[in-house]
Amino acid sequence: MREKFDPITLEILWRRLISIVDEADASVARTAFSSLLRDAHDYTCMFTDSQGRELVQGTLCTPGMAGAMALGVKKIIHSLSRAECKPGDVIIVNDPWLLAGHLNDVCVLSPIFYKERIVAFTACVFHHSDIGGRVASDNREVYEEGLFIPPLKLYDAGVLNEAVLNLIRWNVRTPGQVIGDIRSQVASNHVCAEKVVEMLSDEGLDDLEDLAEEIICRTETSMRRVIKKIPNGQYCYKGLIEGAGKREDIHINLAVNVMNSDILVDFDGTSLQVNWGVNVVYNFTYAYVFMALKSSFDPDIPINEGSTRPIQMVAPDGCVVNCSFPAAVAARMQVGHFMTEMVFRALSPAVPDRIIAGSGGTPAQTNIFYGRDRNGKPWHTMIIRGGGMGASSSMDGHHCAIFPANGANTPVEILESDTPLIVEERSLLPDSGGPGEKRGGLGRKMVIRVPDDKLAPLYPVTIAVQAGRFRYPPEGLFEGGYGSKALFLRNGEPVDSSGLTFAEPGDSVEFHSAGGGGYGSPFERDPEEVVKDVRNGYVSLEKAYEDYGVIMMPNSLEVNEAATTAYREQRRS
Per-residue pLDDT of the chain (573 residues; tens, 9 = 90+): 466 788 899 999 999 999 999 999 999 989 999 988 888 888 899 999 999 999 998 888 888 777 788 888 999 999 888 888 999 999 999 999 999 899 999 999 999 999 999 999 999 999 999 999 988 788 899 999 999 999 999 999 999 999 999 999 999 999 999 999 999 999 999 999 999 999 999 999 999 999 999 999 999 999 999 999 999 999 999 999 999 878 899 999 999 999 999 999 999 999 999 999 999 999 999 999 999 999 998 888 888 999 999 999 999 999 999 999 999 999 999 999 999 999 999 999 999 999 999 999 999 998 999 999 999 999 999 999 889 999 999 999 999 999 998 888 888 999 999 999 999 999 999 999 999 999 999 999 999 999 999 889 999 999 999 899 999 999 999 999 999 999 999 999 998 877 789 999 999 999 999 999 999 999 999 999 999 999 999 999 999 999 999 999 888 889 989 999 999 999 887
Nearest-angstrom CA–CA distance, 44 and 69:
9
- Per-residue model confidence (pLDDT) at position 179: 96
- Per-residue model confidence (pLDDT) at position 500: 87
What residue type is 53 in one-letter code? R
Residues 506 and 538 reside in one and the same domain: no
Residues 419 and 363 reside in one and the same domain: yes
Residues 55 and 193 reside in one and the same domain: yes
Nearest-angstrom CA–CA distance, 65 and 45:
9
| Domain assignment present for 36 | yes
State which residues form the domain around 213. Answer: 7-220
| Domain assignment present for 318 | no
Instruction: Examine the fold and report which residue of 220, 240, 271 is the final residue of a domain before the chain moves on.
Output: 220
The answer to whether 339 and 321 are in contact (CB under 8 A) is: yes
Residues 508 and 549 reside in one and the same domain: no
| Domain assignment present for 375 | yes
| Domain assignment present for 157 | yes
SS3 337: coil
- Per-residue model confidence (pLDDT) at position 146: 96
Residues 410 and 545 reside in one and the same domain: no
The answer to whether 147 and 93 are in contact (CB under 8 A) is: no
The answer to whether 103 and 96 are in contact (CB under 8 A) is: yes
Laid out side by side, the sheet with 105-114 consists of: 54-57, 43-49, 117-127, 105-114, 90-93, 152-156, 159-160
Say whether the peptide bond before residue 310 is cis (omega within 30 degrees of 0). no
| Domain assignment present for 301 | no
Residues 453 and 562 reside in one and the same domain: no
- This prediction has a pTM of 0.95
Element (H, E) at 49: strand 43-49
Residues 399 and 472 reside in one and the same domain: yes
Instruction: Examine the fold and report which residue of 179, 202, 220 is the final residue of a domain before the chain moves on.
Output: 220
- Per-residue model confidence (pLDDT) at position 492: 93
Residues 190 and 49 reside in one and the same domain: yes
Total domains in the fold of the chain: 3
* R_g over Cα of the chain: 24
- Per-residue model confidence (pLDDT) at position 2: 66
| Domain assignment present for 307 | no
Say whether the peptide bond before residue 363 is cis (omega within 30 degrees of 0). yes
* Number of residues assigned to the chain: 573
Residues 454 and 536 reside in one and the same domain: no
The answer to whether 291 and 345 are in contact (CB under 8 A) is: no
| Domain assignment present for 132 | yes
Residues 549 and 480 reside in one and the same domain: no
Residues 154 and 86 reside in one and the same domain: yes
Instruction: Examine the fold and report which residue of 220, 250, 283 is the final residue of a domain before the chain moves on.
Output: 220
| Domain assignment present for 278 | no
Residues 57 and 146 reside in one and the same domain: yes
Q: Any residues with CB less than 8 A from the CB of 73 and at least 6 apart, and which?
A: 46, 48, 52, 54, 99, 107, 109, 121, 123
- Per-residue model confidence (pLDDT) at position 343: 98
The answer to whether 40 and 409 are in contact (CB under 8 A) is: yes
